[in-house]
């Protein structure tokens, strides 16, 4: 026969039997877990073999107390800054290392006498040359040097009289190129007789002398060309004009 037990009786029975078969009241009780005492904080550990509790164990296995401790992060031997890498080869930071490898401290240092100064501007250059790169092609050393005429020619071309001379040539030729008949397309006024020859023949050395010379400002000596024709023909144009 089976007997049905109500819910209320089940709850009463469970309350009476609570804790009766747990811990020391259990038939399988063997004195509880065997634990030892922490040597630092005197608290109970989880196992008998452990000498310290978990909190004390983590304290004494960090930093210098760790069995794999190798001195911590490396520091610069000069300034004491912490190095980024952990390799034992790097003994200095980048700033200190660059200071120790400049000049005579550099392992590739040979001699300071191999450097000299530029004759013109005074910059530091190699002893094999007397001028720096910027000053090497100035003046008489330039392969295009023509007795110092270039600066004078530039001053003449920037003067008001030269601009008016070009405009008068354009008006005479009706603003059209005399070779390709292009109208108003990047026109340039060209001298039939070379500009440098006229300066040499008249011994012009200053801007005032150039302004007084009538041959330079003669409109008959000028011709209107576009930029393309001026670049292609250049100084050979006088043969075609004749």
- pLDDT of 1 above 60: no
CB 66 within 8 A of CB 60: no
pLDDT, residue 178, reads: 87
User: pTM of the prediction?
Assistant: 0.39
Domain residue ranges of the chain, discontinuous segments joined by +: 75-108, 110-145, 149-241
Bridge partners, residue 200, by sequence: none
- pLDDT of 85 above 80: no
End-to-end Cα distance, the chain? 145
When pLDDT is averaged across residues 130-151 and rounded to a whole number, the result is 71
**Which class for 210: exposed (0-12), middle (13-18), buried (19 or more C-beta within 10 A)?**
buried
pLDDT in tens, 87-106: 556 778 877 877 777 777 77
pLDDT, residue 237, reads: 44
Between CA 3 and CA 193 the distance in angstroms is 139
CB 95 within 8 A of CB 103: no
14: CB partners within 8 A, 6+ apart: none
- Higher pLDDT residue, 179 or 133? 179
pLDDT, residue 238, reads: 44
- pLDDT of 113 above 70: no
Residue 178, SS3 per DSSP? coil
């Amino acid at each position: 026969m089976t007997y049905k037990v109500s819910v209320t009786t089940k709850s009463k029975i469970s309350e009476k039997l609570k804790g009766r078969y747990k811990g020391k009241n259990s038939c399988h009780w063997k004195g509880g877990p065997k634990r030892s005492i922490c040597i630092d904080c005197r608290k109970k550990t989880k196992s008998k073999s452990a000498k310290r509790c978990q909190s004390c164990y983590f304290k004494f296995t960090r930093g210098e107390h760790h069995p794999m401790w190798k001195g911590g992060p490396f520091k610069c031997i000069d300034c004491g800054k912490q190095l980024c890498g952990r390799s034992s080869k790097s003994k200095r930071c980048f700033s200190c290392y660059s200071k120790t490898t400049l000049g005579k401290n550099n392992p590739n240092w040979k001699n300071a006498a191999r450097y000299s100064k530029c004759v013109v501007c005074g910059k530091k250059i190699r002893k094999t040359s007397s001028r720096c790169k910027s000053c090497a092609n100035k003046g008489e050393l330039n392969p295009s040097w023509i007795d110092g005429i270039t600066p004078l020619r530039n001053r003449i071309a920037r003067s008001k009289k030269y601009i008016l001379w070009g405009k008068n040539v354009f008006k005479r030729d009706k603003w059209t190129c005399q070779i390709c008949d292009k109208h108003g397309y990047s026109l340039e006024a060209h001298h039939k007789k070379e500009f440098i020859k006229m300066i040499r023949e008249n011994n012009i050395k200053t801007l005032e002398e150039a302004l007084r010379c009538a041959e330079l400002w003669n409109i008959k000596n000028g011709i209107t060309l576009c930029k393309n024709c001026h670049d292609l023909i250049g100084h050979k144009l006088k043969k075609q004009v004749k």
